[in-house]
Amino acid sequence: MNIIIRVLLFFIVLGLLLFLSAGSLRYYEAWIFVSVLFIMGPAVITYFFRKDPSFAANRLLRRREKEPAHRRIQILFLPLFLITFLIPGLDFRFHWSFVPTPLVILSNIMVVLGYLIMAMAMEHNRFASSIIEISKNQKVINTGPYRIVRHPMYTGGMIFFLFTPMALGSFWAVLPFGIVTAIPIVLRILNEEKLLMKDLTGYYDYCQKTKYRLIPYVW
C-alpha cells in the first residue's frame, strides 16, 4: 500500500508541475512523457517486488540519507530539481522554443533507455539502494553494466534526466536540468566512493579494473 501511495503522489505532483505551469491540458509532450513513466515505473517496481520483495521494500523505497553530507546534497538539490519541471510547462505556455515531434519521440526513447539501464543495474546489484550506504555482507559487483562503469545507475539516471526536457518539448530546460542533475550525481559519486573505498573490501581493486565512474572513456 505504501508504494501505491508513493507512486500516485509522484504522478499527482508531476502532473501539477507540468500542466499548471503550461496552463493547458493540450500539452501533448507532457501527456506522452507521463504515459511513458506510468508504464515504465510500475512495471519495473512490480518486477522487483515479484522477484525479490525484500530488495524492493528495504532498499529501493528508502529516501532519507544517513550521512550528514549526503543529506545536505539531498536537501539542497531536491527542491531545485522539482522547480526545473516548471520550465518545460512555461516554455509551452509562452512558446520560448520548439522541439520537433520526431525529436520529442526520440527523447522519450532515450528516457526509456535510461530507465532500463537503471533497472539493469539493479538486476545485477542487489545491494543497490536509493541512499548511500553499505550493507552487511555487501560485496563488489562487477558483472553486467558494472563491467563498463562503476556507477551504472547514475549513468542511466543521467540519460533519463538529460533527455527529459526535450521529451517535454523544451530546449530552454536542457541547461537547468543538466545542472541540477549532474552536480548532485557527481557529488554523490565522490562521496559514495570515499565510503566504498574505506569500508567495502575489494572496491579499490575493482576501481583499478573498471576505470570509469559514470561515462565510458570520459569520467
Mean pLDDT: which of 6-20, 130-144, 157-171, 194-208 is highest? 157-171
Indicate if the pLDDT at residue 143 is higher than 60.
yes
Higher pLDDT, 47 or 59: 47
Indicate if the pLDDT at residue 125 is higher than 90.
no
Indicate if the pLDDT at residue 123 is higher than 70.
yes
Indicate if the pLDDT at residue 1 is higher than 60.
no
User: Quick one: what percent of the chain has pLDDT higher than 70?
Assistant: 88
Q: What is the mean pLDDT of the chain?
A: 86
What confidence tier does 20 reach under pLDDT thresholds 50, 70, 90? very high
Higher pLDDT, 63 or 197: 197
pLDDT of residue 7: 79
Task: List Cα–Cα distances, 127 to 28, 78, 204, in angstroms.
Answer: 38, 23, 17
pLDDT tens digits along 164-192: 999 999 999 999 999 988 888 888 898 88
pLDDT of residue 63: 58
User: Quick one: what percent of the chain has pLDDT higher than 90?
Assistant: 49
pLDDT tens digits along 61-105: 555 666 666 677 777 777 888 889 999 999 999 999 999 999 999
